[in-house]
């Protein structure tokens, strides 16, 4: 039996990404790993929501200077939230909403590196 563990996003500016994920989604570091590879130092920061064991791994590579190629961005993470109006107001204030589907009652935000994150209503 397999269980979800984590998902990875590579980021150019770790501090900027940590600030974004804390402000936009309330994610906080739950563990970190640093080390060296042939290209230089790297740092992995795993973010958690405090409710599940699933983690978002942010990978920072010291030698990386160019934005990551995200292709057509046909992948995304999804977060559910009990108060869509409050979440939408926060993300609107942050200026990170990139697409809305009002008919479906969902919208997407983008992080500092261009990754899409879907916001959906919590099922009651």
For 91-106, write each residue's pLDDT tens digit: 999 999 999 999 999 9
- In tens, the pLDDT along 11-21 reads 999 999 999 99
Q: Is residue 1 part of a domain?
A: no
Q: Is residue 21 part of a domain?
A: yes
H/E stretch holding 22: helix 14-25
Q: How many domains does the chain have?
A: 1
CATH number, domain of 20, equals: 3.10.180.10
Number of H helices, E strands in the chain: 2, 8
Beta-strand relationship, 40-48 and 28-37: antiparallel
Q: Is residue 68 part of a domain?
A: no
Q: Is residue 31 part of a domain?
A: yes
Q: Is residue 48 part of a domain?
A: yes
Give the structural domain span for 53. 6-62+73-121
Q: Distance (Å, rounded) from C-alpha 18 to C-alpha 59?
A: 11
Q: Is residue 32 part of a domain?
A: yes
pTM (2 decimals)?
0.90
């Amino acid at each position: 039996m397999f269980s979800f563990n984590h998902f990875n996003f590579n980021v150019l500016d770790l501090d900027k990404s940590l600030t974004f994920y804390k402000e936009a989604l309330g994610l906080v570091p739950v563990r970190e790993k640093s080390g060296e590879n042939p290209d230089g130092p790297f740092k992995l920061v795993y973010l958690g929501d405090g409710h599940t064991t699933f983690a978002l791994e942010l990978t920072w590579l010291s030698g990386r200077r160019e934005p990551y190629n995200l292709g057509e961005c046909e992948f995304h993470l999804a977060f559910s939230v009990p108060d869509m109006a409050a979440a939408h107001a926060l993300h609107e204030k942050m200026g990170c909403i990139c697409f809305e589907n009002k008919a479906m009652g969902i919208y997407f935000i983008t992080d500092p590196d261009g990754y899409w994150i879907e916001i959906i209503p919590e099922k009651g």
